[in-house]
Amino acid sequence: MQSVAVLNQRMNDDYAQRSRALNHAAQRLVNRLLGCWQHDLSRPFTRNGKSYRVCMKCGMSKDFNLSTWKTHGASYALPLSSSCRN
């Protein structure tokens, strides 16, 4: 028979894991709805004819215009490429 302390520890660990997952999901939702307000962006990248910059803190992307050399538009998450998927 397991002691009450061991069962209590398991419940606390499960709760902490669910809480972290919920916080992460809420943060992703807020980023999707409001976009990224941070200004620590990467250098421009071009893939499949589309240029963009990536936030170094949250990973959200913003479109980049190569002719005017300016970042524009709303933040968005890039889809995973087939080489990144397991």
In this structure, the answer to whether residues 3 and 26 fall within a common structural domain is: yes
In this structure, the answer to whether residues 40 and 59 fall within a common structural domain is: yes
Q: Are 73 and 63 in contact (CB under 8 A)?
A: yes
In this structure, the answer to whether residues 27 and 45 fall within a common structural domain is: no
Q: Where are the alpha helices (H) located in the chain, listed in sequence order? A: 4-34
Q: Identify whether 84 is part of a domain.
A: no
Q: Among positive and negative, which fits the CA dihedral 67, 69, 70, 75?
A: positive
Segment 55-63 mean pLDDT: 88
Q: Are 64 and 53 in contact (CB under 8 A)?
A: yes
- Better-predicted residue by pLDDT, 30 or 68: 68
Residue ranges making up the domain that contains 18: 1-34
Is the per-residue pLDDT at 13 higher than 70?
Answer: yes
Q: How far apart are CA 44 and CA 71, in angstroms?
A: 9
Is the per-residue pLDDT at 54 higher than 90?
Answer: yes
Is the per-residue pLDDT at 86 higher than 70?
Answer: no
In this structure, the answer to whether residues 67 and 57 fall within a common structural domain is: yes
Total-model pTM: 0.54
Segment 3-9 mean pLDDT: 82
